[in-house]
Structure 1
């Protein structure tokens, strides 16, 4: 696993956006780029490897990582990837039922009869049988869901929201892939990042057909993007704390060795659509989780801290839960 090249995105009220390489315990600025998107675009345009461009762009300007990570600096962490000019040009999506435990959690959500397989469990079994095709062959398609455009992305340390019309909010500890489309419409994977694919599990449990709206929520990625990382196998930990005390935690596993679909199959089925290969489009795609607190009947409350860490993926991603009480009902008028 290559975890030597890790990047963060930063913003300052006076100096604007910058990107930096992680060289613990410091961050080293890259010259000439305000976003990882711009860095990747330059690598494509100049036909060079992203890792080579990063090395050529390193400056001697350093920042203390701890103060930024802990929120004690004017420099603030941004999501580890985004489209710097328009959130509408960034698609945020994911694939579910890629891990055995996620399928079992869905099974318990939607069936009172444990011996009777739900569509969720059937779809997982389809992945077990056909989700790892040989290279160049097409495997069974996974479940796919839309989370929103880039406006839903949040950074380390920021809040994730339960909207006034929501029923609940719960963490989903994952790894996400980030992608860019070149001018010919070809997708390129830039790297991997820690993700919290925050969702409304209570809404989903009401009716299986509520899965789609239960996913349209804020979510978080970061703090770091790992360039050139493989997706073979990862172990990590997820926890929920309330008023400084841990109330739940679990070991987590992901990567191709722990899933019923390989990465090539997930990527093929996401990018097979022409609308997902629009030139210069950005993508953040979540690969699925194998544990979350709702599966253990934990209901998150306002102010709870959600923490996700994966070995080899840099520092942990921490976010906080907030309920939106103000009801801003959209008023539709006739033109």
Structure 2
């Protein structure tokens, strides 16, 4: 089952089940977050919760997208209660890249840079036995729900940014139950978006480089993550594709298990606040920046994983910093 969230023409919210080009509207349901929390309280799956409510009426999927009324597939009405974070150095990549990576990390650990050392740790300890904690992945914070762009809409790039580069990824979507227990609602395709030029200056700038808008959706994939997935990413400029690449993902192509990534995020008590939403980007294996591509305002990112439904599409737009170089006032 795949779900979307959308706005009706009157501005009210709704949830729908994807049925080809048609959206079957779930009755008495305004948000996926509330749907998930009600399912948890009732002790049933999200699929069963949808079935218990039934559907009534339909919407045309293409029209919703064209009108800009499709929302991210899981969010919080208060953006401050939506945590956007991610993990890096999680993917082995293609078979050829895998061999190159293993060759690079075969030597003494003291000879490796920090990134390769962390990648080696993931290869050696990122998939522990059931019930055990594995090695910690690279982790970073992106922001709260206010930095999420709707599917199909503009992807803001602040005027101080030096780059707006795509990172095609699987995104895990979670809610925190009333007792503080995290629950995985499902998955979506995502564009994590990073300022790679800033990051390349010094890896200690990674935290700055990650504080950028992102996007995920348009659909919520309900169920277990397939172990082997292949997605596509492309950049379209003035109607022409200027860069395109497939990307492998799923646990077969990762050096960390999903359970290990989830454990190391939710082990922190501050991430267990009841009712909160968590959006976790799981890492990428390709990026156009690595192929020498410089993105431009107006470029369209298109990222898709067939199993997750329709692709995610967003256009880079430049936005001024609200603060800029204005002096900070003191009380």
Superposed displacement of residue 12, structure 1? 3.0
TM-score under structure 2 length normalisation: 0.92
Superposed displacement of residue 331, structure 1? 4.5
| Residues 107-134 of structure 1 deviation map (CA, whole Å, 9 limit, x = unaligned) | 9xxxxxxx96321111011000000000
Secondary structure at 2:329's aligned position in 1?
coil
Equivalent position to 1:96, from 81, 88, 113: 88
Secondary structure at 1:18's aligned position in 2?
strand
Q: Is 1:221 equivalent to 2:216 in the alignment?
A: yes
Q: After superposition, where does 1:113-132 map in structure 2 within 5 Å?
A: 117-132=112-127
Superposed displacement of residue 157, structure 1? 0.8
Equivalent position to 1:31, from 27, 31, 37: 27
Equivalent position to 1:17, from 13, 17, 37: 13
Residues in 1 aligned to 2:301 and 2:11: alpha-carbon distance in whole angstroms: 30
TM-score under structure 1 length normalisation: 0.91
8 Å contact 1:176–1:192 — kept in the other structure?
Answer: yes
Residues in 1 aligned to 2:281 and 2:321: alpha-carbon distance in whole angstroms: 29
Residues in 2 aligned to 1:49 and 1:99: alpha-carbon distance in whole angstroms: 30
Compare 165-174 and 226-235 and name the one that shifted more: 226-235
Secondary structure at 1:312's aligned position in 2?
helix
Distance 1:327 1:89, change over 3 A: closer
Runs of at least 5 residues in structure 1 that lack an aligned partner in the other structure: 108-114
User: How many pairs were matched up?
Assistant: 318
Residues in 2 aligned to 1:60 and 1:9: alpha-carbon distance in whole angstroms: 15
Following TM superposition, the consecutive aligned residue runs of length 4 or more in structure 1 with deviations greater than 6 angstroms are none
Residues in 2 aligned to 1:48 and 1:326: alpha-carbon distance in whole angstroms: 45
Q: After superposition, where does 1:161-172 map in structure 2 within 5 Å?
A: 161-172=156-167
Runs of at least 5 residues in structure 2 that lack an aligned partner in the other structure: 101-107
Secondary structure at 2:230's aligned position in 1?
strand
Match of 1:112 in 2: none
Superposed displacement of residue 13, structure 1? 4.7
Superposed displacement of residue 325, structure 1? 4.5
Match of 1:290 in 2: 285
Secondary structure at 2:56's aligned position in 1?
strand
Match of 1:60 in 2: 56
8 Å contact 1:175–1:195 — kept in the other structure?
Answer: yes
Q: Is 1:45 equivalent to 2:37 in the alignment?
A: no
Q: Is 1:147 equivalent to 2:139 in the alignment?
A: no
8 Å contact 2:93–2:254 — kept in the other structure?
Answer: no
